[in-house]
């Protein structure tokens, strides 16, 4: 048989590969697809029985396409982002099997960098991949591939290939946590499996640290920037999680696979849309792993926000999260039978121009009917001078009967800033406001009125941006309009803000 490649059918691979005579299968020449490889070696890494579903072969195909481009040293077509619920074998496919499969195809020179939100998880996947290579089954089929004895740790092990009695050094797998050091290591394929957990996503600092590592550290660790590829696999946790940030900045360079656990509520997030034909008649991604009973239990455990992100791949619940924006009517003019009781303009000021936050000014009235009307919302990223000018211009336009409130941030800096704005508004009715409690707590009374249809909007160009921010709250990137509106409502409703003890 010499050096010819032995191609075996899927059935032969699964049923005969391990029992075939050694002379029939010669060293590193068994050409399996990743999907076949997964089934042959499943029991080497998993304690449960293999349960097939369409998404498994589909994801394997996507990874194969990416790896083949790298193996041919061709400029990559795209990086790969996979958004999929937990419990769908994503780690076994992407983090455990995929690197070993690449080496088995003869690409023993490939180098991998793998990462997860914790070092423990990253090392666990690496250890299982290493155990797979050491297994009797793998060594039977690929006796020429070994792990170098002097480079054999969970965090960094190196592959070697036996060629004509000599051992040739090959690629390696280096594993770390997101945020961990990568100095001195480069990869042909970079795999990030769950870069952050739900608790980290709830922390602005942790979220920003994760995104900074993904955007500034990881890309510098590629062997060849034009060829090396990145695979990001995760469930959505925040509008500005790594998936959100990467798609916002370079969507055209990404192959995005988004597979919600069910499409009854999340069909518009399914990517690519043609994958809908694979969902069952009940609209489920995987009726075995994620049945409706399992999904209902997950919703009880995760809550509406967690379920929407981790299962629906949309980091806000369907129809809005805290705010049911479809219950907020847009009107052309105030009903003549109603009248205004009191009107205020509330400003939530950003610190500096283009610092990532917006200054927002919400003009809101309480009506005789007991409902509330938002006349307009002013929003922008302005320098200090321009911001103060905008605030004064709107005070003039609103008229003297509209009282102006300015949020005072904690600390001496917040006090100095609000006092400066008050001086700028000399001649107008203006007051500093010191809201307490977290943003979600402060928004809750306002959301109750919105969800009961008691808050109306005057039609204007600002409507969409305002409703979009409410829909994404509290998982959205920006919260300035919600903060200003919640504070205005609290003042108009004469509801005192109560300090939350944590």
Listed in order, strand segments (DSSP E) in 244-382 are: 254-258, 330-331, 340-348, 359-367, 372-380
Rounded to the nearest 5°, which phi and psi values hold at 359?
-90, 135
Reply yes or no on whether the pLDDT at 16 is more than 70. Answer: no
pLDDT of residue 64: 97
Strand partners, 366: 342, 372
Residue 19 has pLDDT above 80, yes or no: no
Among 497, 366, 381, smallest CA distance to 439 is for 497
Q: What is the DSSP string of 392-452?
A: HHHHHHH-TTSEEEEE--SHHHHHHHHHHHHHHTTTS-EEEE---S-HHHHHHHHHHHHHT
Read off the pLDDT band of 471 (50, 70, 90): confident
Nearest to 109 by CA among 53, 206, 217, 189: 189
Residue 35 and residue 404: Cα distance in Å, rounded?
64
pLDDT tens-digit map of 71-94: 999 999 999 999 999 999 999 999
Rounded CA-CA distance 419/417 in Å is 5
Helices (H) and strands (E) in the chain, counts: 17, 15
CA 377 to chain centre: 29
Angle 327-333-337 from CA coordinates, rounded to 5°: 90
* Fold of the domain spanning 10-258: Rossmann fold (3.40.50)
pLDDT at 415: 85
Backbone angles phi, psi at 276, to 5 degrees: -55, -30
Q: In a 10 Å sphere around its CB, with 0-12 CB exposed, 13-18 middle and 19+ buried, how is residue 446 labelled?
A: buried
What is the per-residue pLDDT across 314-332, written as a single tens digit (0 to 9) for each?
Answer: 887 655 567 889 999 999 9
pLDDT at 356: 63
> What does the pLDDT read at residue 355?
52
**Calpha distance 103→122 (Å, rounded):** 19
Q: Is there a contact between 129 and 100 (Cβ–Cβ < 8 Å)?
A: yes
pLDDT value of residue 21 = 43
CATH topology of domain 325-492: Nucleotidyltransferase; domain 5 (3.30.420)
**Geometric angle at alpha carbon 304, from 302 and 306, rounded to 5°:** 45
Half-sphere exposure of 454 (CA within 13 A, CB side): 16
How far is Cα of residue 218 from the mean position of the Cα atoms in its chain?
A: 17
Q: Which residues neighbour 78 within 8 Å (Cβ) at sequence distance 6 or greater? A: 66, 229, 253, 254, 255
Q: Render the burial of 319-355: b for 16+ CB within 10 Å, e for the rest.
A: ebbbbbbeebeeeeeeeeeeeeeebbbbbbbbeeeee
pLDDT exceeds 50 at position 499: no
* 456: enclosing H helix or E strand: strand 455-458
CA 276 to chain centre: 22
| Average pLDDT along the chain | 87
Q: Give pLDDT tens digits for 208-251.
A: 999 999 999 999 999 999 999 999 999 999 888 999 999 999 88
Return the domain boundaries, the chain: 10-258, 325-492
SS3 per residue for 267-301? HHHCECHHHHHHCCCCCECCCCCCCHHHHHHHHHH
Res. 169 pLDDT band, cuts 50 70 90:
confident
| pLDDT digits 0-9 by tens, 393-432 | 999 999 989 999 999 887 777 788 889 999 999 989 999 9
CA nearest neighbour of 102 among 58, 122, 123, 72:
72
10-258 and 325-492 in the same fold: no
- The side-by-side arrangement of strands in the sheet containing 359-367 is 330-331, 455-458, 372-380, 359-367, 340-348, 403-407, 430-433
| pLDDT above 50 for 27 | no
Maximal C-alpha separation, the chain: 96
Strand order in the sheet with 189-193: 145-152, 156-163, 166-177, 112-116, 189-193, 229-234, 79-83, 254-258
Given this model, what pLDDT does residue 212 score?
Answer: 95
Please return the burial class of 263, using the count of CB atoms within 10 Å of its CB with bins 0-12, 13-18 and 19+. Answer: buried
Counting residues of the chain whose pLDDT is more than 70, the rounded percentage is: 89
């Amino acid at each position: 048989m010499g050096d010819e490649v032995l191609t075996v059918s899927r059935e032969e691979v699964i049923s005969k590969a391990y029992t075939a005579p050694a002379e029939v299968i010669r060293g590193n020449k068994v050409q399996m697809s990743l999907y076949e490889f997964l089934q042959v070696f499943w029991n080497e890494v998993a304690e449960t029985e293999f349960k097939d579903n369409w998404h498994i072969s589909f994801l394997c195909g996507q990874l194969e396409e990416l790896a083949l481009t790298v193996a041919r040293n061709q400029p990559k077509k795209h990086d790969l982002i996979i958004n999929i619920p937990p419990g769908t074998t994503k780690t076994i496919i992407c983090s455990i099997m995929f690197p070993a499969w690449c080496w088995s195809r003869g690409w023993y020179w490939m180098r991998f960098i793998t990462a997860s939100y914790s070092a423990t998880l990253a090392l666990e996947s690496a250890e299982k991949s290493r155990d797979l290579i050491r297994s009797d089954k793998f060594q039977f089929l690929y006796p020429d591939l070994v792990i170098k004895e002097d480079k054999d740790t969970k965090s960094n092990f190196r592959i070697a290939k036996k060629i004509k009695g000599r051992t040739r050094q090959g690629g390696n797998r280096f594993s770390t946590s997101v945020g961990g050091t990568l100095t001195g290591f480069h990869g042909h394929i970079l795999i990030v499996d769950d870069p952050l957990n739900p608790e980290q996503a709830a922390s602005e600092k942790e979220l920003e640290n994760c995104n900074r590592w993904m955007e500034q550290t990881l890309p510098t660790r590629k062997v060849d920037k034009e060829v090396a590829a990145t695979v990001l696999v995760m469930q959505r946790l925040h509008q500005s999680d790594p998936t959100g940030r990467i798609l916002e900045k370079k969507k055209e360079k990404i192959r995005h696979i988004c597979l919600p656990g069910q499409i009854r509520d999340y069909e518009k997030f399914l990517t690519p849309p043609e994958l809908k034909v694979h969902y069952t008649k009940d609209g489920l991604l995987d009726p075995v792993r994620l049945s409706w009973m399992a999904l209902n239990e997950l919703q009880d455990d995760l809550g509406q926000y967690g379920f929407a992100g981790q299962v629906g791949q949309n980091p806000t619940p369907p129809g809005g999260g805290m705010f049911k924006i479809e219950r907020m009517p847009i009107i052309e003019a105030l009903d003549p039978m109603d009248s205004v009781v009191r009107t205020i303009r509330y400003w939530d000021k950003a610190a500096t121009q283009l610092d990532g936050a917006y200054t927002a000014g919400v003009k809101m009235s309480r009506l005789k009917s007991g409902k509330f009307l938002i006349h307009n919302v002013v929003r922008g990223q302005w320098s200090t001078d321009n911001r103060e000018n905008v605030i004064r211009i709107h005070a003039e336009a609103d008229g003297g009967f509209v009282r102006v409130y300015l949020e005072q941030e904690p600390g001496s800096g917040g006090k100095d800033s609000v006092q400066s704005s008050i001086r700028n508004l000399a001649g107008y009715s203006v007051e500093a406001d010191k809201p307490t409690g977290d943003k979600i707590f402060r928004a809750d009374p306002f959301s109750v009125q919105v969800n009961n249809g008691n808050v109306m909007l005057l039609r204007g160009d600002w409507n969409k941006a305002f409703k979009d921010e409410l829909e994404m709250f509290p998982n959205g990137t920006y919260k300035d309009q919600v903060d200003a509106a919640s504070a205005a409502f609290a003042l108009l409703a004469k509801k005192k803000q109560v300090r939350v003890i944590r």
